[in-house]
Structure 1
Amino acid sequence: MPKCTTRSITGAEVSQPHLFSQHKIWTKPFIVAVFVVSVLGIVSLFTGVYDIHGQEDGWNMFFITRVPRTAALMLTGAAMSMSGLVTQLITQNRMVEPTTTGTIEWAGLGLVFVYLIFPAPPLMLRMTGAILFSFIGTMIFFFFLRKVKLRSSLIVPVIGMMLGAVISAISTFIGLVFQMTQSIETWFVGSFAPVQIGRYEYLWLIVIVNIFIFIYADRLTLAGLGEDVATSLGVNYNKIVLLGTGLISVAVGIVAAVIGNLPFLGLIVPNIVSMYRGDDLKSNLPWVCVLGMGAITLCDLLSRTIIMPFEVPVSLILGTVGAVIFIVILLKQRKRR
């Protein structure tokens, strides 16, 4: 398909890369990627301070902590990477993801309000609050982009991070006033250390979210071409954007409630995949999920071993690496323009 240029919701002209479908998923490179991620998963199962071989209850601890942690890594990596990919398609901007649109900060604000109303809320209630506020915050961000015409698409993530900073400040203020600082700090430091059996099972809902995204992948891809093009091709643009926003909010809300804040993962992986494979969501989704799993598992392995026997929050490593890659992508975009 020839290269096409459309007007994004930011008001700036965005040049869309080649849109093409690669119907074959199980290609040799993809099989290699799955194999590498599987190896990382096995390494994760046997990495940790607790000696599962030398202790009597070693294998019990293996299934109580190691297996849930590895499963949570895989599901979270798929969720955040997939959310970033869908967000980039809807906004027609490669620089956005839940971290740079304020979605994750809105999820944190939802958790704060849940803790404010219910002193000891169950995980299901925390997750519901995070999902609702994620949806509200994402829709506010989209509404803002529709109303304000920006000359450069590079300004969009900056605006999103500014809005996120405001929401984060509000969450911190509420936490200080109502003495909820500890709960907020736990959320800001995204870590898989507390994950164990009975505390991660809601992450399996991410599989359902991925299935819905795969079903509506073609429509979401058309929505990524802009409202005029999507409407001319028979797609209800507003409806599909609302659906995509809802799916993103569910995934981000679940991760925020169970794990915490995981920055930049949804920015790095989709950009790398789109750079080599174009913008077809259906063919890119398996790649994005697998590479997202591998990236977060690798970061978690570093977090567990870099100062062993202590553990660095995985969000610290993701934030450091992601910020560097984000700056590199910004510079490349500016140079191209």
Structure 2
Amino acid sequence: MRPTPALAVALAAMMLVSMTIGAASVDLVHAFGDPRTMLVLLESRLPRTLAVALTGAALAVAGVLIQALVRNRFVGPDTAGTAEGAALGLLAITILWPASPLWLRMVAASVSAMATTALFIAIIRRLPVREVMLVPIAGLVLSGVLGSVVTFIGWQTDLMQYIGTWLFSGEFSGVISGRYELLWIAGGAAVLAWFAADRFAIIGLGDQVATGLGLGTRAVLRLGLAVVAVVTAMVVTTVGMIPFVGLVVPNIVARIMGDNLRRTLPVVALSGAVLVMACDLAGRLVIHPYEVPAGLILGVVGSVLFLWLLYRRPRHG
């Protein structure tokens, strides 16, 4: 069976299961005849299920893009300072304008995330080309510095609870109707990346090759930064940062299917959605009716997958 239909079937099955799991018992067969059940489904279960799928798909695609932009497989939105940049923008707008509308917070987070990601790219461009492992190390250092700045400001302004929600929670229990719709913007940004997939594949070959093929590298770089920043900002704003999705999913798909982004991006998106959905279901079942955050489950699973990627030989060179 081809990977895309198989993943789509698996995701659909998981989404149906997700609709039935929770503190309240829900019977999907008789839901249309029970107003209480329909209220639970439409206000809580369906928004949460869609939020999980959108988050996984968008973060996985963002991981592909940032790896193409920096030409390094060991980088993701959560290891390049992007998430910390989004949190810094949210923190700044919260302090300067506490009553600011949601769209303005979204813009502040996106602009700040784009700026910090651009800073990361500028830093690694000065590193020796052959020192591949310096790129993720530089990303971790930048993330640590930005995270420290965010934590210090949050401590001084008594906003540590918000910072914990943005950077460390990674859970979907608070998602209800009216509080997840920003993730559709992240999903739209991920779809936009598919239309420019060939350009991102070319820029991943290097600036000189891309320029020789007549590609405007700066325009593609700005588009990639915008997509990564918007996706990360929407996820951080809505559910907090989910680790490892943008790092391990693109690597696994590339090892199986190669680097044809036009062909692999739908598989990457579906794989990211399936991974996050599986971790969310596991977190909801392990101590049911209570929950373990999906970000915590994914931290364990992602660590194992990342170690496997380090020691497993790729099928495609």
TM over 0.5: yes
Q: Give the counterpart letter for 1:50 in structure 2.
A: A
Counterparts of 1:208-223 in structure 2, within 5 Å, are 208-223=188-203
Q: Give the counterpart letter for 2:62 in structure 1.
A: S
2: CA distance, partners of 1:29 / 1:146: 35
TM-score normalised to structure 2 length = 0.92
Counterparts of 1:226-305 in structure 2, within 5 Å, are 226-305=206-285
Aligned to 1:323: 303
Q: Give the counterpart letter for 1:245 in structure 2.
A: L
Aligned to 2:3: 29
Aligned to 1:134: 113
Q: Give the counterpart letter for 1:297 in structure 2.
A: M
Q: Give the counterpart letter for 2:8 in structure 1.
A: V
Q: Confirm whether residue 49 of structure 1 aligns to residue 23 of structure 2.
A: yes
String of CA shifts for 1:20-58, please: whole Å, max 9, x gaps.
xxxxxxx73321221111101111111111123599623
Total equivalences in the alignment: 309
Aligned to 1:77: 56
Q: 2:215 is paired with a residue of what secondary structure?
A: coil
Cα contact 1:123–1:257 (8 A) shared by 2: no
String of CA shifts for 1:40-97, please: whole Å, max 9, x gaps.
1111111111123599623211110000001111111111000001111111111111
1: CA distance, partners of 2:295 / 2:265: 23
Aligned to 1:161: 140
Q: Give the counterpart letter for 1:107 in structure 2.
A: A
1: CA distance, partners of 2:186 / 2:139: 24
Please, which runs of 5 or more residues in structure 1 have no aligned partner?
A: 1-26
Cα contact 2:56–2:273 (8 A) shared by 1: yes
Deviation at 1:184, TM superposition (A): 1.1
1:159–1:332 Cα change, 3 Å: farther
Which has the larger share of helix?
2
2: CA distance, partners of 1:324 / 1:155: 22
Please, which runs of 5 or more residues in structure 2 have no aligned partner?
A: none
Counterparts of 1:163-202 in structure 2, within 5 Å, are 163-187=142-166, 188-202=168-182
Aligned to 2:44: 65
Deviation at 1:151, TM superposition (A): 4.0
CA RMSD of aligned residues (A): 2.0
- Percent same amino acid among aligned pairs? 37
Q: Give the counterpart letter for 1:97 in structure 2.
A: G
Q: Give the counterpart letter for 1:45 in structure 2.
A: M
1: CA distance, partners of 2:40 / 2:24: 8
Deviation at 1:207, TM superposition (A): 3.3
1: CA distance, partners of 2:208 / 2:129: 19
- Aligned mate of 1:306, from 280, 286, 289: 286
Deviation at 1:99, TM superposition (A): 1.1
